[in-house]
Amino acid sequence: MSTATRTEEVPGTGTTIRLPAGDGGWREVELAEPRAWTPHPQPHTARVAFAAAHVIVDPRGENVPGAPAVVDWDATLAFRRHLFAHGLGVAEAMDTAQRNMGLDWAAAAELITRSAAQAKEHGARIASGAGTDHLTVAPHQLTATEVGASALEQVTTAYLEQVAHVEGAGSQVIVMASRHLAAAARGFDDYRRVYETILTQVAEPVVLHWLGEAFDPQLAGYWGSRDVAEATENFLSLVRAHADKVDGVKVSLLSAEHERGLRAALPEGVRLYTGDDFNYPELIEGDGEHHSDALLGAFAAIAPAASAAFSALEAGDVEAYRAEMAPTLPLSRAIFEAPTFHYKTGVAFVSWLSGLQDGFTMVGGMQSARSPLHLARVFELANTARLLPDPDLAAARMQLVLDTAGLRP
């Protein structure tokens, strides 16, 4: 199934910006007219849809590699209100928020507490990540110094501590993939032991997150095998045994074929939340028998367009749904291109271009993780999708990046 593309031309403002091309040349890009997106303050009903949101840092903080995160709470929570205003729930403190890439547990815990309170105030959905990243021992050290039951007990205890915090904040739990468990487990029996302990103790059904190694190389071989088919069967056996405690599974393997097969094999009532930022329009639309719900970092960058697409789906207009989604897909694929785990830079960049934050600075200095040429492509595709509410502001900010990099025609 392919997603239809728009045939009409994007209306322009008449103002242009020169962007660098990969061949050493330059290309002239006309700024698109901003679109008046329709707000949707109530959660969408056609699909359950979460946007995995990033954090906005305090520019006065020492947000350098290895330093504790210093968050601009006002701007970060305002960004979540932006998502709520378009009918999207928030997947909080996930990899988009730089968990395991700079956002320490102290900041993540406060983020979950603040965000859950705000979601309650706005009647919005929220689900938050519980992991093991507050353990003081690094994953490779756990493997070297701890073996067998002792290591798994540490991992289990860490998970349960974070689960308790998420539940206490009033948020649904997303059980994140754990680097510590990936390092300590000797096979699927170890994964099953840890996850079964969690699932028997949670208060409400959770989302299980399978994050592929494209997003985090330290998670290679998760569920006890590097063979995806074997890992999938292991994963399914766990879900089937505890279906009453699993609201859904969030799978980020970037394979539409794998996702379609997995969702068809899930027990009745267990959702598949797509994490495929390369193929989400067709997976969310479905194949006539099954469809995916959504938990996507891409939605943080394309929230107004995703909302318009869901509104079309709720009205039964599949062609309009496809037309709304189509311009967002090239943008998402650019943001998530290899190395995929640096996609957070693109999400923060689009937020800055859109005027949703004052500066382009990230936890751990990750604003430097993508090149100016990559950012120029992201700018152009966001412009084509009409996702820049103030094109002149966006162009001025793009020009700042080019000037700082020494890129001049």
pLDDT for position 2: 39
Pairing status of strand 89-92 against strand 49-52: parallel
Distance CA 68, CA 9 (A): 46
Distance CA 319, CA 309 (A): 10
Q: What is the dihedral of CA 306, 311, 317, 323, to 10 degrees?
A: -30
Flag residues of the chain having pLDDT under 50. Answer: 1-7, 144
Do 359 and 60 form a contact (C-beta atoms < 8 A)?
A: no
pLDDT for position 22: 83
pLDDT for position 5: 42
Backbone angles phi, psi at 77, to 5 degrees: -70, -30
Q: What is the dihedral of CA 25, 31, 37, 43, to 10 degrees?
A: 20
What's the pTM?
A: 0.94
Structure tokens at 81: 């209100």
- Those residues whose C-beta lies under 8 Å from the C-beta of residue 188, and which sit 6 or more positions away, are 223, 224, 225, 234
The predicted-structure confidence for 279-313, as pLDDT tens digits, reads as follows: 999 999 999 999 999 999 999 999 999 999 999 99
Cα 329 to Cα 49, 199, 260, 336: the distances in Å are 17, 35, 19, 10
Pairing status of strand 12-20 against strand 246-252: unpaired
Do 277 and 332 form a contact (C-beta atoms < 8 A)?
A: yes
Distance CA 173, CA 128 (A): 5
Structure tokens at 114: 């603040």
- Those residues whose C-beta lies under 8 Å from the C-beta of residue 18, and which sit 6 or more positions away, are 26, 27, 28, 29, 409
Where helices occur in 242-327 by DSSP H, the ranges are: 256-265, 280-285, 298-314, 318-325
Structure tokens at 184: 């300590």
Backbone angles phi, psi at 30, to 5 degrees: -80, 135
- What is the CB neighbour count within 10 angstroms for residue 149? 11
| Percentage of residues of the chain with pLDDT beyond 90 | 92
pLDDT for position 71: 98
Q: Is 36 helix (H, G, I), strand (E, B) or coil?
A: coil
